[in-house]
Amino acid sequence: MLLLPVWASMLLGLLVGFLPLVGMEPTGGTKSGSDHAPNPESHPSPSGSNCSSQLTLKLEFSSKVVEHEYIVGFTGYFSAKARSLYISSALRNNDGALEWHIVPRENPASDFPSDFELVHISQPSPSSLKTLEDHPYIKRVTRQRKVFRVLKYIPSPEPAAPCNSTRGTQKWQSSRPFRRTSLSLGSGFWHATGRHSSRRLLRAIPRHVAQILQADVLWQMGHTGSGVKVAVFDTGLSEKHPHFKNVKERTNWTNEKTLDDGLGHGTFVAGVIASMRECQGFAPDSELHIFRVFTNNQVSYTSWFLDAFNYAILKKIDVLNLSIGGPDFMDHPFVDKVWELTANRVIMVSAIGNDGPLYGTLNNPADQMDVIGVGGIDFEDNIARFSSRGMTTWELPGGYGRVKPDIVTYGSGVRGSGMKEGCRSLSGTSVASPVVAGAVTLLASTVLNRELVNPASMKQALIASARRLPGVNMFEQGHGKLDLIRAYQILNSYRPQASLSPSYIDLTECPYMWPYCSQPIYYGGMPTIVNVTILNGMGVTGRIVDKPIWQPYLPQNGDHIDVAVSYSPVLWPWAGYLAVSISVAKKAASWEGIAQGHVMVTVASPAENDSEVGGELTSTVKLPIKVKIVPTPPRSKRVLWDQYHNLRYPPGYFPRDNLRMKNDPLDWNGDHIHTNFRDMYQHLRSMGYFVEVLGAPITCFDASQYGTLLMVDSEEEYFPEEITKLRRDIDNGLSLIVFSDWYNTSVMRKVKFYDENTRQWWMPDTGGANVPALNDLISVWGMAFSDGLYEGDFTLADHDMYYASGCSIARFPEDGIVIAKNLKDQGLEVLKQETAVVEGVPILGLYQTPSDGGGRIALYGDSNCIDDSHRQKDCFWLLDALLQYTSYSMTPPSLSHSHSRVAPPTGTERPLPQRLEGNHLYRYSKVLEAHLGDPKPRPLPACPHLSWAKPQPVNETAPSNLWKHQKLLSVDLDKVALPNVRAYRPQVRPLSPGESGAWDIPGGIMPGRYNQEVGQTIPVFAFLGAMVVLSFFVVQLTKTKSKPKRRKPRIKRPTYLQQQQQQQTTGKNPTV
């Protein structure tokens, strides 16, 4: 029986450790006692909320120009006194009445030299600004911009999934839904409640994103981010947050007198990177630098970022996470400063944006070549719906966009630090970005020679090691999913070199190479342009030696294609472009098959160590090319998309085509067949049409090769030579389809912006389309659009249609076909808040030109039904019918015999729309230039001319499958073994008085694989121990029941014992 206390103690200890593992729910704000095998539903988040109540983080960005404030950029870094003297000297010769002063900037960077100054000029004139820019030490003068960020935490309406669950309950509210719900950041975010009351099957997955990506493997090798400086540009961090042990510095760059995080976003981001407990980050021993650049009202300024970026350079930051972004890639001071940051070896990681699934929605600075742009996936490796898609739109209309994002990782249901304590699960690319930033910080700490780590080499390692997701194209996933261990293997065998992104061109590989693989090439077609990024890991600056060499494979018909290459004259910082134009040789006009070859590029960079041979490092890379060639299609099947006359934000304010979308006022997706007109393109390809893109004036294509010219949502003006040539082309058989949009000068004045803070008006430079310019183009045929603005639902040819902020046809030839519908007058609603229905609004017109063999013209007043941005009901069937008419002269009976057919309007009822007086379209136009009085057309530019590379054929067999992981320096990753794991664990920060240590694991902070194995065996030992103790008690109980009961009362026992004692002493039996 002496063993009973021992067994009882063991049983009590085992049960205390065992019960929480089988479902004990902690109460209040307490945390469960073990992190080895926790119940994912049982851990509370701050203020009693549960980590399983996941929220989707919706970010919206906008920026406004600040009136009278200008950022004066200098050619170098100067003291405050010198900067003031330069500005005074520049403005000295101006009118003495000019009032200006330097705006003081009180922040940590004010004590150091700077390369810009913020100047307030009360009544600036063009001459005063020009005088400033003419000063020899002043590089640029730009307007100050105010940035607005809206954080909206949207709870899932369904029961919440456990932390990091793969269960698909996340609901994403994109910035482009048909219905917008305005949700403010309230207390509900931090006080979400509830556990699941129902039972369901849970997937057995790790709890923390760092463990899912196997960061614990590197932790056990002793790599925890030590010695790496990582900066978080966000909303700040509280001073005594229990998750962080190495916050080196907190700085405030706003006009609020606090360093703390009042929103929780900055804390969450910092936790994903460097949290040391609960929701572990990747690099807990890294030096954390907190930059508070957003106020609690979610406002920031360009000048705040510029000062903070300068300070980051001064502090020699290694990794910088920027979970923000916006569409303005022409904010020159910001973009230039990002280039300067990366040139100073700062590895910048930025979120690609939350504007998916629409294409052409990449945010800046993540769309820059020198920045690691991160997209989001869920825990089942599906591209998150909210994650923005490529391509970049910088290069339009003449070129083609680059591949972005660079890489994708988990961004849905990721767990991170709460604002004061505990953890929280959020979704968004602003969540995926710190996952990569944390991984980069951890990877940098594993490299012994830190000089090898730079923005290019890190990006090379990440994209070369990424795991490609099946069934996903490159504008959704970039190079694939982050693979931390493979990236570690590459970095630790890395030698400086150049590489390409993408590393090969295969126009036959679908779906990864979409859209290139969606249409074969043929003789006479517009050249296919592939924009390749050159990454130069050898140095911040470099150049291409001689010229790239085109080497076709003769056995694989490489001589059937022609290749032209253009490239960056200087690779800076760390990157450049390589534009490859591919066309079919004349001898392959009737040939069908596969053609292959490769382009050889040699990159040179100055050696940092002059002892290198020649003082220069060189690296030669090969770009394999594989294309499918088909015979030239008939003219009737070829459609030419006019890209040249589409304008978008930035740089000007071009409003949305659907005025109902008040919260999304800018037209910024490029209006390209591979961005916001992607679905239309896919539909046309499925119908057998071949669609090509015209990125030059109308004077630059051979109209005899095409059946139809498609103009959609055109905002640009037209050269007089273009109008003349189009008239001649249509007389010779080319057909034209025009999808217009609204244009009304009164409405344009009404929808201008007014910012109460900046007191700045934003006036549209055109309407949804440039109707006056379109009318100039089609006036020769007696056609014109009106300035009416209409919307409404209707039925046409048994199809449900929706007219979204479209215009009407004001004039049309009397022998044409015109369809009219009853619609609401949206212009009246916008201007006077009155509702009226207009009967018989002409919206569709079909016309056969009278010349012998002439083409046909079709007009429709609204493009929203083929635009992915805000489309509610598609009209692809109508586009099919119009193409049947223009390409084959087949008039659809459903239109020609429609009950909605009316007599063509004569245009005498009301005047045609005129251009908005005082508009600034000339600032952004490729056609107009400033002139005294009204703007005038520029001289017609020369058509682009490609210089085809001289082929150097090689008589060797090309590889059949070009897709293989990039092998930097021929490293075979399968042969690079991980070093032996040594017994090492990060140090634990001592607990503060009163702080709970329930989440800390003795000996270390990270539950690595060893800890996981121990955690998995604890329930087994606890169960066996309990069984042993239970068996012991059963045996003892059985023995007790088998003994005979004593008949004598217990009170007489002492007398009986005395008699027994006497008997033993005297040797006599007691008397009965």
Catalytic residues: 234, 265, 430
* Residue 700 Cα distances to 349, 722, 773, 942, angstroms: 41, 9, 19, 8
Question: Which residue has 């949502």 as its token pair?
Answer: 713
CA distance 79 to 68: 24
Burial 89-123 (b: 16+ CB within 10 A, else e): ebbeeeeeeeebeeeebebbbeeeebbbbbbbbee
CB 485 within 8 A of CB 978: yes
Alpha helices by DSSP H, 214-331: 215-219, 265-274, 302-314
CA distance 592 to 934: 53
DSSP code, position 590:
T
CA distance 331 to 301: 12
Q: What angle do CA 543, 548, 553 make, to 5 degrees?
A: 155
Helix (H) or strand (E) holding 895: helix 893-896
DSSP string computed for 66-80: EEEEEEEEEEEEE-H
Whether cis (ω within 30° of 0) applies to the bond prior to 365 is yes
Neighbours of 280 (CB within 10 A): 30
CA distance 651 to 720: 25
Question: Which residue has 């795991």 as its token pair?
Answer: 467
CA distance 575 to 501: 10
> Which residue, among 790, 689, 800, has the nearest Cα to 741 in the 3D structure?
790
CB 1019 within 8 A of CB 37: yes
Q: Which residues make beta-bridge pairs with 808? A: none
CA distance 72 to 80: 13
3-class SS of residue 6: helix
3-class SS of residue 854: coil
Neighbours of 790 (CB within 10 A): 26
DSSP string computed for 731-754: HTT-EEEEE-----HHHHHHT-EE
3-class SS of residue 116: strand
> Which residue, among 655, 638, 666, has the nearest Cα to 883 in the 3D structure?
638
Structure tokens at 957: 């067999």
Helices vs strands, H then E, count in the chain? 21, 39
Neighbours of 825 (CB within 10 A): 20
Structure tokens at 908: 């005498």
CB 683 within 8 A of CB 865: no
Determine the straight-line distance between the first and last CA of the chain, rounded to whole angstroms: 35
Neighbours of 977 (CB within 10 A): 7
Question: Which residue has 């490239």 as its token pair?
Answer: 567
Q: Which residues make beta-bridge pairs with 101? A: 120
3-class SS of residue 974: helix
Whether cis (ω within 30° of 0) applies to the bond prior to 455 is no
* Residue 89 Cα distances to 76, 82, 140, 744, angstroms: 17, 10, 16, 46
Structure tokens at 466: 């990424």
The residues, any chain, with a CB within 8 Å of residue 923's CB and separated by 6 or more, are 651, 652, 765, 930
